[in-house]
Amino acid sequence: MDGIRLLAPDFALILLGATLRRLPGFPQAFWSGLEQLIYFVLFPALLFTALLRNPIEPATALPLFGAGLAAMACGIVLSVVLAQLGDHTPLEAVSRAQCGFRFNTYIGLAAATSAMGQAGLATMGLLCGLMVPFANAASVVLLARHAQTRLLPELARNPLILATLSGLACNLLGWHLPAAADAGLTRLAQASVPMGLLAVGAALRFKGTRIAPLPAVGVLAVKLLALPVIAWFAAGVAGLSGTPRAVLVLWAGLPSASSAYILAVRLGGDAAGVAWLISVSTLVAMLSLPLLLGLVA
């Protein structure tokens, strides 16, 4: 019950976004523009500031990074294998597979803050910042290989990867932004989570896809069931406890990222199937995340 109470405001924003999308004053063009704003401006600002401002302690960051990377690697392998089941093209399969290991950072930051305060926010921000480049790179590699597009340019212009690497570099070098620039980025970062949750709700799609049941269930089971279990054991092996362990498991159980849909559209993958998987994972996470939070928090 505590998990439901803590996460209720965040899921309320998702439901509000789903409701607004169906009102005549909010056409599809509005939400498409908002998604682009979040992906190219607001979310990079959030990643950059989260990594720049939170001190990176190697004693905590390295085990957290290692456990997260191990869990994600397992998710990539399992998702790619299960997504191949059924009648589809290789590009359709790999575009769906990314839903088994990509994670919704907006929900993760909101949930960690609600449940664990500033310590949870800082840890989740660090973990997401460290893992975003690998999740995006893995998705781009999988899709670019079958979409016959150039891999290095796709990686080099990905805004999430660029923001993460820039934030890490500035943190490690001890650089700080001028006050005016820092204030501007702070405002953009603060807007990213509520806007992101509204966009998640507006992007919910449950119709218009022909994805087979077996690969769909397999990918969703990897994302919402297998990865939290793997992360729990990985945290134990890495020696994590307390807030870092709770954040790692919570991160592993996050629903799929809406940016997976944007990438599928850009590279010609199964956008409808990806949208359906993201939507169902988000809906199921409204039930699974409070339970998961009750176990680890």
pLDDT per residue, tens digit, the chain (297 aa), is 556 677 788 888 889 998 999 898 899 899 989 988 988 899 889 888 888 877 777 888 899 999 999 999 999 999 999 988 876 778 888 889 999 999 998 889 888 888 888 788 878 888 988 898 889 888 888 887 766 666 667 667 778 778 888 888 898 888 888 999 999 999 998 898 889 889 888 888 777 666 777 888 999 999 999 999 999 999 999 999 999 999 999 999 999 988 788 778 777 778 888 888 998 998 899 889 988 888 876
Instruction: Tell me which DSSP letter residue 223 carries.
Output: I
Terminal-to-terminal C-alpha distance of the chain: 13
Q: Where are the domains of the chain?
A: 2-204+212-296
Sign of the dihedral defined by the CA atoms of residues 58, 67, 158, 26, in that order:
negative
Domain topology for 2-204+212-296: Na+/H+ antiporter like fold (1.20.1530)
Residue 252 near residue 77, CB atoms below 8 Å: no
Query: CA-based diameter of the chain, in Å?
Result: 55
Q: Give the integer Cα–Cα distance in Å for 105 and 220.
A: 17
Residue 20 near residue 26, CB atoms below 8 Å: yes
CA distances from 245 to 57, 67, 147, 181 (A): 15, 10, 37, 34
Residue 150 backbone dihedrals phi, psi, to 5 degrees: -80, 125
Residues with Cβ within 8 Å of 124's Cβ and at least 6 positions away in sequence, in order, are 108, 109, 111, 112, 113, 247, 250, 251
Global pTM?
Answer: 0.85
Residue 107: which of 192, 223, 40 has the closest Cα?
A: 192
Amino acid at site 240: L
Q: Give the integer Cα–Cα distance in Å for 54 and 108.
A: 17
